Amino acid sequence: MEQHFDVIIIGGGAAGLTAGIYLSRAKMKTLILNDGTIGGQMILTHQIANYPGIENISGYELANNMKKQALSFGCQIKNSIKITDMNLTDYIKSITVNGKETYTANAVIIAAGGRSRMVGAPGEERLKGKGISYCATCDGDFFQDKEIIVVGGGNSALEEAVSLTKYASKVTIVHQFDHFQALSHYVDEAKANSKIDFIMESKITEFIGEEKLEAVKIQNQKSSETEIQKIDGVFIFIGYIPNTERFSGILELNKFNEIVVDNLMVTNIPGVFAAGDCVSKRYRQITTAVADGTIAALSASEYVNNIKITNSELATD
């Protein structure tokens, strides 16, 4: 059975849920298709930081509030689905999920978010958000006077390591090579900071802890010797992967595989908009995802209204 919507949103994180709230409140028939747990990356953090007006809320609660708000305006949400077929280029867009249900729409918003590149060592998946973080802006404050490790050797790693010294009593940078890839001023700043230590040519090969991170196993890449180091937290900055694999060859992506949009969140395909962490931009926060979702919803709304006006004019001619 085929069901038609004004707008289909792919992704139910902060950007997708915000777009869902705006569209359904504006009486647009809206469907959110989400492949994971609703809330996206928000639910990875135990406490949300920097969300204006809300000082103390868990990621799960904020995500659930956004979901409830979207549902209250009539937005439909399908969770834990898998998109198996998709046509975004035709005038009427169509998306098939789980190989059997097909939904069509006049417009589509892609809010597929992204994921941090992981170290890939045992224990990492389990201890994500329990001492392992991928966001200094979000979680730095929870490590006041604690000893932490920063993994990485690029600009983000060095810049964030310096910023984390505002909170942590000691920051050790663990990097796999004998030199950094970061620009020299980031390296100089980190080296000049008395709270920062370096373990070069080394990798974390295991994250240890039950309920929360307690220690890491570090292996020297030259000698293969390993040591176990007790630690309060590990911040990982070894790159970011936008969830855009599914759209490659369909939408214009930049060299980082982020979706190229203009300031109205318009992509290269008419009727297809994109928002949140999956688009080309520098800062990735809930506030920026929410802002993108708002703009994408308003742009999609205008696009769909124009189609409706054109169709009704044609019908009365």
Ligand X SMILES: Cc1cc2nc3c(=O)[nH]c(=O)nc-3n(C[C@H](O)[C@H](O)[C@H](O)COP(=O)(O)OP(=O)(O)OC[C@H]3O[C@@H](n4cnc5c(N)ncnc54)[C@H](O)[C@@H]3O)c2cc1C
Cβ closest to ligand X, residue 67 vs residue 202: 67
135 is a catalytic site residue: yes
Cβ closest to ligand X, residue 180 vs residue 213: 213
Cβ closest to ligand X, residue 135 vs residue 202: 135
255 and 170 Cβ atoms separated by less than 8 Å: no
- Minimum gap (Å) between residue 43 Cβ and ligand X: 8
- Minimum gap (Å) between residue 62 Cβ and ligand X: 9
DSSP state of 117: P
138 is a catalytic site residue: yes
- Minimum gap (Å) between residue 176 Cβ and ligand X: 22
Can you read off the two tokens belonging to residue 143? Answer: 């490590």
Q: Which residue of the chain is nearest ligand X when measured via CB?
A: 113
Distances (CA, A) of 107 to 1, 119, 246: 19, 37, 17
Catalytic residue among 35, 75, 85, 138: 138
SS3 category, 240: strand
Can you read off the two tokens belonging to residue 59? Answer: 């990621």
Query: In terms of DSSP bridges, do strands 226-230 and 215-220 run parallel, antiparallel, or are they unpaired?
Result: antiparallel
Catalytic residue among 6, 75, 135, 292: 135
Catalytic residue among 6, 139, 277, 292: 139
211 residue type, one letter: E
288 residue type, one letter: T
Q: Phi, psi at residue 171, to the nearest 5°?
A: -125, 120
Distances (CA, A) of 317 to 106, 112, 295, 308, 313: 22, 40, 33, 14, 6
- Minimum gap (Å) between residue 127 Cβ and ligand X: 11
Cβ closest to ligand X, residue 155 vs residue 285: 285
- Minimum gap (Å) between residue 254 Cβ and ligand X: 16
Helix (H) or strand (E) holding 70: helix 59-72
251 and 259 Cβ atoms separated by less than 8 Å: yes
Cβ closest to ligand X, residue 25 vs residue 246: 246
Residues near ligand X (CB under 6 A) are 10-16, 33-36, 40-42, 44-45, 48-51, 83, 111-114, 116, 129, 133-135, 138-139, 243, 246, 276-277, 284-287, 289
278 is a catalytic site residue: no
Indicate which residues carry an active-site annotation: 135, 138-139
